[in-house]
Structure 1
Amino acid sequence: MATHTRRARVLRALRRLLLLAMLGGLAWLGGLFWFAASIPRTPPLPGSAEATRNTDAIVVLTGGSGRLSTGLELLADGRAHRLFVSGVYEGLEVQELLKRSRQFPGEMECCITLGYSADSTVGNAYETADWLRAQGFTSMRLVTANYHMMRSLLEFRMVIPEVEVVPHPVASPNVHLNDWWLWPGTANLLMTEYNKYIVTYARSLLASVIDSR
């Protein structure tokens, strides 16, 4: 009888764990679809308040196609007077950077600063914060991939809450957001980014609780 009772308790516990795992999986899956649907498909529309808003600086996070050329175009359009490129690999100088982006080296060379210390989004936020504070800037336009924007905004708001951040998402032609679940590469990218977003969001909640004490 005792053995039968213990076995029944174990089975009930396993059923509860299985139910919790299923509910957690459904919640994660629903969150993933929400995350994918929340990713902006296009940059700010020309003429909109976001597109024409001038800031003290433009900040580009390296690591994806189209980010640097977008940042240079925004600088040329006068959206800011300075451009900071965070997460540049060691050895890349401004003239080489401009050459790679098909810009004449003498035109904007003086207005660009490269940051070499960041190797993650957290590092990007801290590296950029140090530069912004050294310059006395209080606003910035953030240029990064559209799927990377939500997590980047969280990181930057945790590190430099006093700075106004205007998002400027860049869409990659290799990331297929429509029917993304049919594209294995895109699906894997979004799942990875979503998991990182969850961790970042949890960190931001914990930080806000600690700050409120």
Structure 2
Amino acid sequence: MKLLKKYQHVWIVPVYGIFYLWAFQYLEQRNVKAHIIHLKLDDMIPFCEYFIIPYLMWFLYIALTVGYFAFINKNKQEYYQLIFTLGLGMTLFLVVSYFYPNGQDLRPHLTGDGFFISLVRHLYRIDTPTNILPSIHVFNSVACCIAICRHNSFKHPRTVKIVTFVLSVLIILATVFLKQHTLIDVFSAFALNIVAYQMFYKPHPVRQKQPEQIFLK
């Protein structure tokens, strides 16, 4: 009982995670015509299969970051700032995908059977080139990078922040070098992060007077 009370703030993560996965699966499977997103600049970016490594590291990166702020970090406000940011971006992504079905036509024809090519081929097989705006890979990476860079309780904060920044940049580059996203998806994810930062990180008079109404205790 004590354990449940101590981590009662965490319940929202699995509950929302189940909802998000169900909604995303529905969007992926529904039969609607997708609006193709494509910039000429996208064609200038070469395909590079080696970026599959940072692309796949994204899953561990997000899980470890959320896990750290949920279970290890004692500052609950930082935890809520992170999950509210992630929740806002992922929810708006679902809304955009529902009302504006979108996709891309950038994926190359893969040849060869090398290890990295095989990983990309598997990724293409399980992840359709639809529902890409904004890029959740980019949005969540930037959101987690901001949360970590603002946090100062790590044992070696400078090293952690440098590694986090480099990994985030590699993940963002991976989305376009693997032809998973267009530059529009990337730019829109950055723009959405700016909005979320203003909402959840910038001080506001209401938040200063009644923080418990914004961040649950």
Do they superpose with TM above 0.5? Answer: no
More RCO (CA 8 Å, sep 6+): 2
Q: Considering only CA atoms, is the larger Rg found in Structure 1 or Structure 2? A: 1
Higher strand fraction: Structure 1 or Structure 2?
Answer: 1
In the superposition, the TM-score normalised over structure 1's length comes to: 0.23
| TM-score normalised by structure 2 residue count | 0.23
When you count helix as a share of all residues, which structure comes out higher? 2
